[in-house]
Amino acid sequence: MGRRPSPLYLTPGVAAPSLPSANRGRFSETGEAGPLQEFFMVPHTRSTASHGEGVEIPLAINAEMIEARIREMNDAIRLLRELTSRPYGELTKHEILAMRYLVIQLVEAASSACLHLLAAQGERAEGYPECFLRISQKGVVPEGLGSRLASAARLRNLLVHRYWKIDDERVFESVKDGLRDFEEFVRILRGILDSGPMAGR
């Protein structure tokens, strides 16, 4: 089966100094970039490998905190699916702004869980995009998924800091496919929680 593009996520740029130089140069760590039209799309591929279960994560994980982030992600996914079930032209301005907010909520909930997993291993990330790349390097999530989640984190930075650069219709059209990445991340988090006793339970 051929690879197909995922229009929600933007081409990864600068994330961590240890990453290959091919991934650098388009974004700053604050998410700053040129106009949205200049972004390239990330190939959207899915891994059949099992992740989350069996990954060596210390028992210092706060399961209640992860459960709360999972609920927040699921709430945002559900509401975004409702919004994207209608044609873009039927959305009101308030609904478009709600879509932006829900994307921010979704990314921040996922990023909070990501940072917690990284901290449980005694490590830190300088920002949300780097965190997703780091946990993919550690095998917690597939490499492709980590790259797409990192790109979604950069989109979140644009929505927060440079919202005037965003093409809402492009975000709308791509959310339909992009939500599956967060659903996959939720499944991985659930697998980690179910793999053994965790602090906070």
Conformational region of residue 139, where left means phi above 0, alpha means psi within -120 to 50, and beta covers everything else: left
DSSP letter, residue 30:
T
Q: Residue 2: pLDDT above 60?
A: no
Beta-bridge partner residues of 42? 6
Q: Which domains does the chain possess?
A: 69-195 (1.20.120.580)
Cβ proximity of 46 and 137 under 8 Å: no
Give the pairing of strands 4-10 and 41-44.
antiparallel
Higher pLDDT, 56 or 186: 186
Q: Residue 197: pLDDT above 70?
A: no
Q: Residue 200: pLDDT above 70?
A: no
> Nearest Cα to 37, choosing from 10, 14, 15, 13?
10
143-161 helix and 93-120 helix, angle to the nearest 10 degrees: 130
> Nearest Cα to 69, choosing from 103, 115, 112?
112
Query: Which tens digit of pLDDT belongs to each residue from 50-107?
Result: 455 444 554 478 999 999 999 999 999 999 999 999 999 999 999 999 999 999 999 9
Query: Which tens digit of pLDDT belongs to each residue from 153-177?
Result: 988 888 888 777 788 998 898 788 8
The pTM (predicted TM-score) of the whole model is 0.70
